[in-house]
């Protein structure tokens, strides 16, 4: 009986320790801001030092306050970059693509909660033991449609023509190593959140079928042109005459330029200047224009940041946008990151309440842009964003093991001493 009591107390202490560790990590107790100063200039100096220390490729960065760009920084190891240099932004594409989908919803051509199969003729989800009718636009936008593809697209190198959209949805050849490459309903739609690049490829097909245009043409006419994003496209053509940033690997070597079938999920090309315009479209009064800039209604943009995808009851995803952290004003820091091989990383953080934010576009590092974006969130709010918390997982596991061993050791020593005292009295 005494042994059971010790085991119970030990398990209870372990649970309390791990829960406390997770909670304090989430609260940022173990993390210090990149600078103690609240001055944007001091933040930028700290970031520049981090870039000079850790970076090997090229980078374009904008810091925004009250809806306006207050500082920019450009870094390159070879060809210079500027606010008009075009970067491929990987999964950040999804956020902008979501605007295109929701534009069709506002036009009455799509309904958020209608099965997508009702709109598709060129391809359909394969049969599943789960209900394919539960796959809706809302769930695809929020990664809650039950898709288990795990995509992740790696793209196709020069000289390798990308497959058709239908071929990619059936079984893409550029799936990341841990993904099957097949877009299929592998769990009950709506039950839980699971990231799905394939879901956005379905949305790409959906846009083409409903609009009657190619995805790139539709996005240009419906989103880019009205917002003034005149150097943005999902398909790169040298004939555009724009300045494309060099692609770098992590060792500073020039990397290949990969092309994608999955345009909506991974293939947007854009500039810092264009993304600053996209930033302003989320705010009231920037350049004396309303929220949405006439492309989306303000209520639609507000709906995009309502928690829809949740993990352990915590809202981490809206409709097309990541909910990074509480902004301490009853809303969220929103945006989207991107990462593709060999070393593309992009980050966008936006506080829609105060009009503050940061945009980072880079090649040559797999994580620097994301780390800078997360540091900005912590500097501004004191809250750890979901990606910074995710990066702390390995540290938490190590601390949990060390703490667990210590608790078990102490309890064993305590039990032995207690038993020795009992034996002596006996």
Q: pLDDT for 296-318, tens place per residue?
A: 999 999 999 999 999 989 999 99
* Stated pTM of the model: 0.92
In terms of domains, do 19 and 143 share one?
Answer: no
In terms of domains, do 224 and 250 share one?
Answer: yes
Gap between the Cα atoms of 181 and 171, Å rounded: 5
In terms of domains, do 184 and 279 share one?
Answer: yes
**Within-domain flag for 174:** yes
Q: What is the CATH number of the domain that holds 121?
A: 3.40.710.10
In terms of domains, do 295 and 153 share one?
Answer: yes
pLDDT band at 407 (very low <50, low <70, confident <90, very high): confident
- Would you state the pLDDT for residue 397? 83
Reduced 3-state DSSP string for 405-417: HHHHHHHHHHHHH
**Within-domain flag for 34:** no
In terms of domains, do 386 and 401 share one?
Answer: no
Mean per-residue pLDDT over the chain, rounded: 92
Helices 93-106 and 197-211: crossing angle in degrees, nearest 10, is 40
In terms of domains, do 275 and 398 share one?
Answer: no
In terms of domains, do 85 and 216 share one?
Answer: yes
Gap between the Cα atoms of 380 and 28, Å rounded: 13
Q: pLDDT for 145-177, tens place per residue?
A: 999 998 999 999 999 999 999 999 999 999 998
For residue 400, give its domain range.
Answer: 2-28+394-425
**Within-domain flag for 400:** yes
In terms of domains, do 354 and 400 share one?
Answer: no
**Within-domain flag for 33:** no
Q: If you search the block for the tokens 């449609």, which residue do you land on? A: 145
**Within-domain flag for 413:** yes
- Would you state the pLDDT for residue 63? 98
In terms of domains, do 235 and 340 share one?
Answer: yes
Gap between the Cα atoms of 28 and 183, Å rounded: 37
pLDDT band at 13 (very low <50, low <70, confident <90, very high): confident
pLDDT band at 206 (very low <50, low <70, confident <90, very high): very high
pLDDT band at 95 (very low <50, low <70, confident <90, very high): very high
In terms of domains, do 404 and 332 share one?
Answer: no
* Percentage of the residues of the chain whose pLDDT score is greater than 70: 97
Q: pLDDT for 259-288, tens place per residue?
A: 999 999 999 999 999 999 999 999 988 877
Maximum C-alpha span of the chain: 93
Q: pLDDT for 340-354, tens place per residue?
A: 989 999 999 999 999
Q: pLDDT for 134-147, tens place per residue?
A: 999 999 999 999 99
Domain count within the chain: 2
In terms of domains, do 180 and 321 share one?
Answer: yes
Gap between the Cα atoms of 61 and 360, Å rounded: 5
Res 27 pLDDT > 80: no
pLDDT band at 329 (very low <50, low <70, confident <90, very high): very high
Q: What is the average pLDDT across 67-95?
A: 97
* Percentage of the residues of the chain whose pLDDT score is greater than 90: 77
**Within-domain flag for 379:** yes
- Would you state the pLDDT for residue 87? 98
C-alpha distance from residue 393 to each of 125, 150, 291, 336, 371 (Å) = 35, 20, 37, 20, 15
- Would you state the pLDDT for residue 408? 86
**Within-domain flag for 125:** yes
- Would you state the pLDDT for residue 23? 79
In terms of domains, do 59 and 199 share one?
Answer: yes
**Within-domain flag for 35:** no
């Amino acid at each position: 009986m005494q042994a059971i009591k010790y085991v119970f107390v030990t398990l209870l202490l372990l649970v309390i320790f791990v829960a406390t560790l997770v909670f304090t990590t989430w609260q940022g107790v173990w993390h210090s801001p990149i600078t103690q100063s609240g001055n944007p200039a001091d933040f930028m100096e700290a970031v520049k030092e981090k870039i000079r220390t850790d970076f090997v490729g090229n980078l374009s960065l904008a810091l925004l306050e009250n809806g306006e760009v207050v500082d920019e920084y450009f870094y390159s190891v070879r060809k210079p970059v500027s606010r008009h240099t075009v970067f491929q932004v990987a999964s950040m594409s999804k956020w902008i693509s979501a605007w295109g989908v929701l534009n069709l919803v506002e036009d009455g051509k799509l309904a958020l909660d209608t099965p997508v199969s009702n709109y598709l003729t060129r391809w359909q989800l394969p049969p599943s033991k789960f209900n394919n009718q539960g796959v809706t636009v809302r769930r695809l936008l929020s990664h809650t449609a039950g898709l288990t593809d795990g995509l992740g697209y790696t793209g196709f190198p020069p000289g390798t023509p990308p497959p058709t959209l239908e071929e990619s949805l059936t079984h893409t050849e550029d799936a990341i190593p841990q993904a099957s490459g097949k877009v299929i309903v592998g769990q009950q739609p709506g039950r839980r959140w699971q990231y799905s690049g394939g879901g956005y490829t379905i949305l790409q097909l959906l846009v083409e079928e409903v609009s009657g245009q190619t995805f790139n043409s539709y996005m240009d006419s419906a989103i880019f042109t009205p917002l003034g994003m005149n150097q943005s496209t999902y398909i790169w053509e040298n004939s555009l005459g724009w300045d494309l940033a060099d692609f770098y690997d992590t060792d500073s070597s020039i990397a290949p330029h990969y092309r994608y079938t999955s345009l909506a999920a991974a293939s947007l090309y854009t500039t810092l200047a264009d993304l600053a315009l996209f930033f302003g479209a989320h705010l009231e009064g920037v350049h004396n224009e309303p929220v949405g800039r006439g492309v989306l209604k303000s209520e639609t943009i507000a709906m995009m940041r309502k928690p829809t995808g949740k993990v352990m009851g915590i809202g981490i995803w809206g409709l097309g946008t990541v909910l990074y952290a509480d902004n301490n004003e009853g809303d969220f820091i929103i945006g989207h990151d991107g990462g593709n091989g060999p070393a593309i990383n992009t980050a966008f953080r936006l506080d829609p309440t105060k009009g503050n934010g940061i945009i980072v576009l880079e090649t040559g590092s797999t994580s620097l842009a994301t780390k800078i974006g997360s540091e900005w969130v912590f500097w501004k709010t004191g809250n750890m964003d979901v990606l910074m918390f995710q990066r702390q997982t390995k540290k938490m596991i190590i601390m949990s093991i060390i703490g667990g061993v210590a608790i078990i050791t102490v309890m064993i020593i305590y039990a032995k001493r207690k038993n020795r005292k009992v034996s002596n009295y006996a």
